[in-house]
Amino acid sequence: MTPAPIAVALDAPDLETAAQWAALVTPHVSTVKVGLELYLRYGPDVIASVKGASGVQVFLDLKLHDIPNTVAGAARAVARLRPAILTVHAAGGPAMIRAAVESAPHTEIAAVTILTSLTEADLDRIGLAGPADAAVRRLAALSVEAGATALVCSPHEVSAVRAEVGEGIRLITPGVRPTGAATQDQARVATPEQALADGADLLVIGRPITGSPDPGAAAAAIAASLRRSV
Ligand SMILES: O=c1ccn([C@@H]2O[C@H](COP(=O)(O)O)[C@@H](O)[C@H]2O)c(=O)[nH]1
C-alpha cells in the first residue's frame, strides 16, 4: 500500500524515542519530520537514526530565519545530510529564501508562512493586521517568486494559497487534528480529511500520533481514513 501523505513530527525528548516512533509509523506514512528539539540536542546524527533502514523521507524543520548570508551557510551545512525538505521562514524575505534555495540544490525549500499556532489576535499584536489568509497569500507569493517549491500554511488557508500559487508547489499543512483530538497549542486547525480535500499535499501530524499509546496504530488509522476519504 502507498504510504499516506503524512509527515509525522518526531518531537521527542530523546533519540531512542524518536527512532522508535519513526520505525513504528514508517510503514504507514511517507515522511518523518525532525524539528528543533531533536536537532538541537543531537545534531546531524539524528537524520540517520530516524531514517533507519526504511529509507523514509526526512523533513528537516529548522525554520531558518536570519540574514541571507547566514541562512546560506546554515542551508549549506545541512544540505550535506540530504533532507528531502528544509524549512525557512517566509518572513525572512525573498533574498533570504533565494539564498537557501541556491545553497541546498538537492533539498526542497519550504517557506513557512504564518505559524499555525497564531490566532488573528496574535497577528494583530505583531503588526500583521487583517485576515490571516491575506498575509499567508502575500508570503506564499513572494516565497515562490524567490524559488521556494513548497509552502507551509494552515489548513484554513490552503485553498487560498493554491489559488495564489497554482499547481506544482507542494503545500504542507501542520495544524491537523483528527475529529475530537485536542488542539493543544495549535490555533488554525482542521481534520486530516478536510486538509487533504482543500488541497494539502503533505499533512504534518505530531502529538495525535506520537502521544498515542500505539503510534503505529494511530498512524495506520489516520492513513486508512484518508484513503477512504478520497
Ligand atoms: O506553522 C507551523 C509550522 C510548523 N509546525 C510544526 O509542526 C508540528 C506540529 O505538531 P503537532 O504535535 O501535530 O501540533 C510541530 O513539530 C511544529 O513545530 C507547526 O505546528 N506549525
The DSSP line for 73-118 is: HHHHHHHTT--SEEEEEGGG-HHHHHHHHHH-TTSEEEEE-S-TT-
Tell me how far the alpha carbon of residue 43 lies from the centroid of ligand 1, in angstroms.
19
Nearest CA to ligand 1 atom 15: 9
pTM of the full structure: 0.98
The 10s digit of each residue's pLDDT in 88-116 is 999 999 999 999 999 999 999 999 999 99
Q: What is the pLDDT along the chain (230 residues), one digit of tens a residue?
A: 899 999 999 999 999 999 999 999 999 999 999 999 999 999 999 999 999 878 899 999 999 999 999 999 999 999 999 999 999 999 999 999 999 999 999 999 999 999 999 999 999 999 998 899 999 999 999 999 999 999 999 999 999 999 999 999 999 999 999 999 999 999 999 999 999 999 999 999 999 999 999 999 999 999 999 999 98
Backbone dihedral angles phi then psi of residue 105, each to the nearest 5 degrees: -65, -20
Nearest CA to ligand 1 atom 3: 115
Task: Residue 189: give the domain boundaries.
Answer: 4-229
- Residues having CB within 6 Å of any atom of ligand 1: 9, 11, 35, 61, 112, 115-116, 152, 174-175, 184, 186, 204-207
Structural domain count, the chain? 1
| CA separation for the pair 207, 52 (Å, rounded) | 21
Tell me how far the alpha carbon of residue 209 lies from the centroid of ligand 1, in angstroms.
13
Angle at which helices 15-25 and 215-229 cross, to 10°: 40
Q: What CATH number does the domain containing 45 carry?
A: 3.20.20.70
Helix, strand, or coil (residue 57): strand
Angle at which helices 94-103 and 132-145 cross, to 10°: 50
The 10s digit of each residue's pLDDT in 117-134 is 999 999 999 999 889 999
Cell 489576535, located at residue: 121
How far from the centroid of its chain's Cα atoms is residue 209's Cα?
15
ipTM over 0.95: yes
Active-site residues, by number, are 61, 63, 66
Tell me how far the alpha carbon of residue 53 lies from the centroid of ligand 1, in angstroms.
25
The 10s digit of each residue's pLDDT in 177-187 is 999 999 999 99
pLDDT computed for residue 230 by the predictor:
85
Q: Which atom of ligand 1 is nearest to the CA of 114?
A: 1
